[in-house]
């Protein structure tokens, strides 16, 4: 693709000494082949710095496979994230053509190396497709350090490899096969991409969508970076299953999802609708399997048709006695969950990212189909229709109250001047450099106001916990004083549709700064709920952050060190513990430095695992089994398991005499495998420990065995620990004593203070640790999987108790840092 490249002297006169010469025909560059993609990757694949372009490479490869499915030739797509962050995409489609092209190379090489080349331009090969411009997989090839193409077609396996878009050899056969399909493997080029780490959640979110949009297509993904991390998606119900999943944790008004499909003017439209008892509208729009996050003409057609259908049916059946006028669009769409999927032979979009469909004819097509099909559904199901319209009527009655509350905010009754004493604004009026800290409580707010940089940092203290907007309509939300204060401070006025205007945001860094306790976490969750439901654009633009104030201050002499959390403190104490220390077992050379640190960290992790296992098993019994070397293979031998039972009982009696007598019993499962049940004396606190295949094959027990083997490399106990400058070593009888010794030594000479809240920090401390851009740590909040995120907010913050109870029960044993 040719591209005009102006020289630096373009704006200067020809005689300018700073210009470096004349601007003439020699300054016009033509980028050949894939060079244009490498020169300007953002034009083709998006932002190469924030991860969007990185994942877009996968979408381009997968879309080709899905297009094969749409053409009726592919039933399986398999994606693998390799350990080196390369990606493989395999399908069982027809395979890219391998014959010689008129350009003198194989057709496959043309597809991989020439922009605007492919099979998507005529409507014979593909009736509909996600690809339109023929730049997809060739752009992936251009920005890949290594790219391998493998095609199964015409009885052979064909292979060709590329480096940064350049073929390393012609396409050639390497074997025979009776299968067909295409496999591409690519590794993103570090010369192009800043971020090279793929997100499993981002990939699975999009792949699950594709499975919903293409009923019967099997999509698998596996992640070799983590063992056993894989997913498989296949939905015979298509977008009906999609809507059902979105509403899984909500109370549906119409229990059965309304679905209809129709074709008009070669445009096929699939629509699934279901209303629930919440107040948010959730509509996902797709064109040829591509998500149009900004909607477009298909969304406009749906909204227009819904309003027209509801008002027509309600008027005809005299259902509007309690309201003066008909239903507005927002009334009809309150609590609506919908998916609109359009298959168009030649769609038009607002940009290469395809975020908005602009094909004008689609609006009328969708409008006609919805009015016809939904109107017929209402006539055939009057009971369901009345329930849905009753929901809309309640929304209409609340709309007037919402309008009044909205006008209060829109007309500036809560303007910036009225926030004096609450909002400490910054001097800068440039949103790009301005940031606002939303702080928990007046005390922390006071320290933050004194410690901030007034030029670009604003402070807004919030009093108490804000309203849970997951359970509130717009009118109630806007009547909340704290939310009104927050909206006004951010500057996001509300338009006539009750939506916040992100363009008027006064700060491009919104930083949540709450205490590191249960109340602080709850306040942060309530704020995140508000932003996710009312200002989702904040996540997309990357404007929302969470501050990371330190949890501990460690003082040694007159020097202070601020540490962010318990894990960092543990690591610091380990480093302090092993400093100047050497340890040896009987008859072995001592170890120092890093080996001791790794050993100490293993002992700490082992204690943590045992503490976790103690919730389900007696940790003392598990630790004894580890020391005796009991493995799952030993359970198969009756003689071995009885011998282990005897030795275990002896060891437990000696080690824990206060809990004796221990009872050790060998049982047998129907499968023939044995297991041990060990219990302390009757009335003891600990539940019996069950040592079976599930426990002994589990990751926790396997890790414990590994840590015990590391300890054995020291040699036999007792262990001798000697500090530098000390003549007498300390004798330690076993690993537990060694761990306790290291813990005590790590704290020696240190004064550790835990901050209970931000208010305990003075202004200088807060600035130095949390607010100074040169030294602070901020976590950017992003949404990788919108569907899972929506479900999680619904479970945790919604009205339904049962899903929340199930969630707590399933995750209770995985909780960390429980504050009781």
Which residues does the annotation mark as catalytic? 440, 515, 517, 519
Residue labelled with tokens 């038009």:
348
Q: E strand or H helix at 786, and its extent?
A: helix 786-797
How far is 130 from 59, CA to CA, in rounded Å? Answer: 10
Beta bridge partners, 148, equal 161, 185
The single-letter DSSP state of residue 82 is: -
| Phi, psi angle pair for 528, to nearest 5° | -65, -35
Evaluated on CA atoms 768, 772, 774, 776, the torsion sign reads positive
How far is 158 from 182, CA to CA, in rounded Å? Answer: 9
In the sheet with 689-691, reading across from the earlier edge strand, the strands are: 663-668, 674-679, 689-691
How far is 348 from 357, CA to CA, in rounded Å? Answer: 6
Q: Which of 683, 682, 615, 627 is nearest to 652 (CA)?
A: 627
**Contacts of 764 by beta carbon, 8 Å cutoff, 6+ apart:** 451
Tokens read off for 241: 């299953």
Tokens read off for 672: 């023939």
Neighbouring C-beta atoms of residue 179, cutoff 10 Å: 10
Q: Is 319 helix (H, G, I), strand (E, B) or coil?
A: coil
Tokens read off for 464: 């108490």
In the sheet with 258-264, reading across from the earlier edge strand, the strands are: 258-264, 267-275, 336-343, 282-287, 290-291
The single-letter DSSP state of residue 106 is: B
Q: Is 662 helix (H, G, I), strand (E, B) or coil?
A: coil
Burial of 126 (0-12, 13-18, 19+ CB in 10 A): buried
Q: How far apart are the first and last CA of the chain?
A: 63
Cα Dmax for the chain: 100
Evaluated on CA atoms 16, 18, 21, 23, the torsion sign reads negative
**Contacts of 766 by beta carbon, 8 Å cutoff, 6+ apart:** 444, 447, 448, 451, 549, 758
């Amino acid at each position: 693709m040719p591209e005009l490249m102006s020289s630096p002297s373009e704006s200067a006169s020809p005689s300018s000494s700073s210009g470096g010469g004349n601007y003439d025909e020699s300054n016009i560059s033509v980028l050949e082949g894939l060079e244009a993609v490498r020169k300007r990757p953002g034009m083709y694949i998006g932002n190469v710095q924030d991860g969007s372009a990185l994942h877009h490479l996968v979408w381009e490869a997968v879309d080709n496979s899905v297009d094969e499915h749409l053409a009726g030739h592919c039933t399986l797509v398999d994606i693998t994230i390799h350990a080196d962050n390369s990606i493989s995409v395999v399908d069982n489609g027809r395979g890219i053509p391998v014959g010689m092209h008129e350009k003198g190379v194989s057709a496959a090489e043309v597809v991989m190396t020439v922009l605007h080349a492919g099979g998507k331009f005529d409507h014979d090969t593909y009736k509909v497709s996600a690809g339109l411009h023929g730049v997809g997989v060739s752009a992936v090839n251009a920005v890949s350090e290594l790219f391998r193409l493998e095609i199964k077609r015409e009885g052979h396996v064909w292979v060709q490899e590329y480096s940064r878009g350049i073929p390393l050899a012609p396409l050639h056969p390497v074997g025979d096969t009776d299968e067909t399909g295409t496999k591409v493997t690519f590794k993103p080029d570090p010369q192009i991409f800043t971020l090279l780490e793929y997100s499993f959640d981002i990939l699975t979110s999009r792949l699950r969508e594709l499975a919903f949009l293409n009923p019967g297509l099997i999509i698998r993904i596996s992640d070799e970076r983590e063992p056993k991390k894989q997913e498989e998606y296949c939905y015979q119900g298509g977008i009906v299953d999609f809507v059902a999943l979105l509403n899984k944790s909500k109370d549906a008004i119409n229990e059965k999802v309304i679905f209809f499909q129709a074709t008009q003017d070669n445009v096929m439209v699939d629509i699934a609708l279901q209303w629930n008892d919440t107040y948010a509208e959730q509509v996902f729009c797709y064109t040829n399997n591509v998500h149009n996050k900004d909607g477009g003409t298909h969304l406009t057609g749906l909204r227009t048709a819904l309003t027209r259908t509801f008002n027509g049916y309600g008027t005809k059946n005299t259902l509007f006695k309690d309201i003066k006028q008909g239903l507005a669009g927002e009334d009809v769409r309150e609590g609506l969950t919908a998916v609109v999927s359009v298959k168009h032979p030649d769609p038009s979009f607002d940009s290469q990212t395809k975020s908005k469909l602009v094909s004008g004819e689609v609006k009328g097509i969708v409008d006609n189909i919805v009015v016809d099909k939904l109107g017929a559904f209402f006539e055939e199901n009057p009971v369901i229709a009345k329930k849905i319209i009753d929901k809309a009527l309640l929304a209409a009655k609340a709309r007037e109250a919402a309008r009044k509350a909205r006008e209060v905010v829109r007309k500036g009754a809560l303007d910036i001047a009225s926030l004096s004493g609450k909002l400490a604004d910054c001097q800068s009026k440039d949103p790009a450099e301005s940031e606002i800290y939303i702080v928990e409580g007046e005390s922390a707010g006071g320290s933050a106001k004194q410690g901030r940089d007034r030029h670009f940092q604003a402070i807004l203290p919030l009093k108490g916990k804000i309203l849970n907007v997951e359970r509130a309509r717009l009118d109630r939300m806007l009547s909340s004083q704290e939310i009104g204060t927050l909206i006004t401070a951010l500057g996001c006025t509300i338009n006539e549709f009750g939506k916040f205007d992100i363009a008027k945001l006064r700060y491009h860094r919104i930083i949540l700064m709450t205490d590191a306790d249960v109340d602080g976490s709850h306040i942060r969750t309530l704020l995140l709920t508000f932003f996710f439901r009312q200002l989702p654009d904040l996540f997309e633009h990357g404007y929302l952050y969470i501050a990371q104030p330190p949890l501990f201050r460690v003082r040694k002499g007159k020097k202070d060190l601020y540490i962010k959390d318990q894990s960092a403190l543990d690591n610091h104490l380990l480093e302090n513990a092993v400093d100047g220390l050497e340890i040896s077992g009987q008859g072995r050379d001592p170890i120092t430095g890093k080996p001791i640190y790794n050993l100490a960290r293993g002992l700490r992790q082992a204690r943590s695992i045992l503490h976790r296992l103690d919730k389900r098993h007696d940790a003392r019994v598990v630790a004894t089994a580890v020391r005796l070397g009991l493995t799952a293979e030993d359970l198969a031998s009756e003689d071995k398991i009885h011998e282990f039972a005897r030795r275990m009982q002896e060891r437990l009696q000696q080690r824990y005499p206060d809990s004796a007598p221990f009872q050790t019993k060998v049982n047998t499962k129907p499968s023939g495998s044995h297991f041990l049940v060990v219990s302390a004396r009757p009335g003891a606190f600990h539940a019996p420990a069950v040592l079976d295949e599930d426990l002994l094959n589990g990751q926790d027990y396997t890790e414990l065995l590994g840590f015990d083997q590391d300890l054995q490399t020291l040699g036999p106990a007792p262990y001798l620990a000697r500090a530098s400058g000390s003549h007498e070593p300390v004798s330690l009888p076993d690993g537990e004593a060694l761990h306790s010794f290291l813990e005590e030594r790590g704290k020696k000479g240190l004064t550790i203070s835990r901050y209970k809240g931000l208010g305990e920090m003075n202004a200088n401390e807060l600035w130095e640790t949390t607010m100074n851009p040169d030294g602070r740590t901020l976590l950017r909040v992003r949404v990788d999987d919108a569907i899972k995120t929506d479900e999680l907010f619904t479970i945790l913050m919604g009205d339904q108790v049962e899903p929340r109870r199930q969630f707590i029960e399933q995750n209770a044993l995985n909780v960390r840092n429980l504050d009781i």
